[in-house]
A and B are shown apart, each in its own frame.
Chain A
Amino acid sequence: MKNKSAKDQCKSPKLLGILFVLVALPVVLLLARSVSIMATQRGRILDMSERYVRQLSLYGAKRYSALNNSEFLSLLSDRGYNRALRDADRDREVDRVNESQKFIPGMFAYLRIDKDGRAVFIAGSDGSEVLSELWSESGPVKIDFMQVNGRELAYSLFASETSEPGVIAVAAVTMFTWTGGGSVFGNFTNETMLAAAFCLVALFLLRLLLIRPLRSLSGALSIFRWGQDVPEFDAKKIGGRLFGLEIEEMVSLRNAVSELAREAVLKTELEKRYVSDIVKAQENERNRLARDIHDGPIQVVAAFTQRVQMALLSKDAGSESRKHLTLAEEAARLVVEDLREICDSLVPPWLSLGLSRCMDEAAERLSRQHDVVIDVDIDVSSEAENNLPQDVTLAFFRIFQEGVSNAVRHGGADHVWLSVSQNCDSPSGGEEIVLTLRDDGAGFDCSSLNTEALYSSGRRGLAGMRRRAESLGGSWSIQSSPDDGTTVKVRVSLKN
């Protein structure tokens, strides 16, 4: 069952990864395509803008010599060139024309280059005065950007000489202005790129907030011991929190898992308490029964025996009555023996005499009962022995009983070693008592031992031992391999 769930946990993050890639891949492709389109498109548009300004300036230069200056200029400033250009723009994209009215869709100017090499504006379209600044004393300035109406734009520019020496015709246009509909396409790629970038950020966040925490949650769950560990599935451990924000579903998933784990712990504890309550109730009942038998029937029969003995020992008993009295005494003795036997099997009456005496007596009885040699070694200080709760002594006694019975019945052991020792520095920190029961029996392969499964199949011995140890808050372990005997270890910590 554990293997299956581990496999499931492996599968889902992989699938999640594939889904992630399925979403991320088109976005990345789109982004790459947009970048390449933009690059080629930009090149083409630039090329076209350059051709346009070249044509415009050559045309202007030709017209300069052909036209009467003033005529041309009035044409230009009045309703001529600008208007024509504007109309053209309107055809392409009506809205943009109005908006871009402030900066002319391309500029045209005639400039006169004086002796100092400076450019003087003769005439031109609105705002084209700025073109004169492109000339300094040393000639045309190489310039890529120009400030027009507070906006810095990239311009394509071309100057041609007119028939009149010193006068040049300059045409300039921004790529943006020139392309018109093309610029829409340019913006479109920009927006696509932006959208793709957003998508990528969102995917990254998704990974950070959902996929990674899911993975670490499943990782944490795969090593989690249900019913034993108290969960720590908070955002600190699992991740998935960014600037205090978390995915709600992730939070509820985490909480649900924590709740389940906490319930499992509670359930295990309840179960342990339940078992220990049953054990306690059972022992109490046995105890009461044994005490009742001891205080009632045994005492009465003992009193009866005393009277019979008195009669037997009195001088005036005849031989006939002596015979009957002897038989009566014998019968009474047998009754007491039987009752004692019942009491002893219910609860060892010598529990109150301490662990070592109790275990010695148990060893004595068990070795007789099972015909096995038992070595007992109790290495516990008398102080610890005096402080040892009777539950522990009783539990050890029962575990001993069960262990010896198992060793003989299942392992065919001839020799059993019991040792009880004190361990001052236990793994849990405090002092603990360790019971070790070893035998020379056949042993078995305990690698796949499941005491609970054995318990439910009716073989309660091992599970019973284990539950008894656990009901004391202790631990139980078994070690065995074929032909190598079996060792059972119980550790119980001593609370001071």
Chain B
Amino acid sequence: MQEERPITLIVADDHPLTRTGLAEWVRRNPRYELMAEVEDGTSALEAIEKFKPDVALLDIQMSNLDGIAVVRKIKSSAELAKTRAIMLTSFKAQPYVMASLMAGASGFILKTSAIRELENAVSHVMRGSLYLDSQLGDMLKDASFAPEALTSREREVLLLSSRGFSIKDSATKLSITERTIQAHLTSVYAKFNCRSKGEALLVALKFGIISLEELLEETSLESKPETEGGASA
């Protein structure tokens, strides 16, 4: 990796203190090349279009266009899709993680641990795998936690519900009763020792039980047509 050309990055963060800190850290790293340092969503998108960087470090809360919207835009463009997005946020909240991953982000790090996590995150996403901040560890239990294996049905139910299918729509799609869907989810939560769908999905992603591609690919292909059909029926 060292012999190859440096990894190109842009940093987008609307707060000057954290942005300059992060930019400085990137510049200091000889394997990285900082292409741009911007403070809002639209300039981030412009910079990505201009430099087509390998990695975009995007703050989720930005003016004009938020980080998640930027990811959605670059992932929907064939030209820009190669840029991997690592989301930055000061909120340790699952919905942001979920929304980022669903939008197509490859990594998620907290601003408070960005300096420590950056190198690890960049190398992970450059390898094509998903990176989640180690501070999210308490959301994913401790390091020794190993989830029990899921049955294929449980995995399927979790996947569908993570894609935003309601219990009713999942039941219709899998031709089983809503009660069974609920039983499967309860069983998944028990196996993962977690309490919600979002947490369960993070565990599944973290441990490779569900791959990000699988989650995104099928979501974008089907984009919940059954959900809409089911809800308006």
Contact = CB atoms under 8 A, between A and B. Distances in A.
Q: Do A and B come from one complex?
A: yes
Interface of A: 294-295, 298-303, 305-307, 309-310, 313, 332-333, 336-337, 340, 343-344, 349-350, 352-353, 356-358, 360-361, 363-364, 367-368, 373-384, 421-422, 424
B59 to A, nearest CB: 10
A81 B130 CA distance: 143
B111 A302 contact: yes
Contact of A309 (B113, B168, B232): B113
Given A377-B167, A379-B167, A360 B93 contact: no
Contacts of B99: 350, 353, 357
Nearest to A300: B17
Nearest to B92: A340
A303 B93 contact: no
B166 A379 contact: yes
Contacts of A377: 166-168
Contacts of A358: 95
Given A302-B111, A344-B93, A382 B224 contact: yes
Give chain A's interface secondary structure class: helix
B195 A357 contact: no
Interface in B109-141: 111-116
Contact of B112 (A295, A302, A313, A380): A302
A371 to B, nearest CB: 10
Nearest to B25: A310
A71 B46 CA distance: 149
B18 A379 contact: no
Interface string B211-233: 00000000000011001101110
Given A344-B93, A353-B99, A378-B166, A307 B228 contact: no
A364 B94 contact: yes
Given A305-B112, A360-B198, A364-B199, A379 B90 contact: no
Contacts of B208: none
A368 B195 CA distance: 8
Contacts of A373: 195
Given A353-B96, A422-B231, 17 more contacts: A294-B61, A302-B111, A302-B114, A305-B111, A305-B115, A306-B18, A306-B22, A306-B25, A306-B114, A313-B115, A333-B112, A357-B198, A360-B95, A361-B95, A361-B198, A368-B195, A377-B167
B180 to A, nearest CB: 14
Nearest to B230: A379
A207 B18 CA distance: 86
A302 B114 CA distance: 9
A42 to B, nearest CB: 88
B6 interface: no
A340 B91 contact: yes
A307 B112 CA distance: 10
B173 interface: no
A194 to B, nearest CB: 76
A357 B95 contact: yes
A263 B77 CA distance: 59
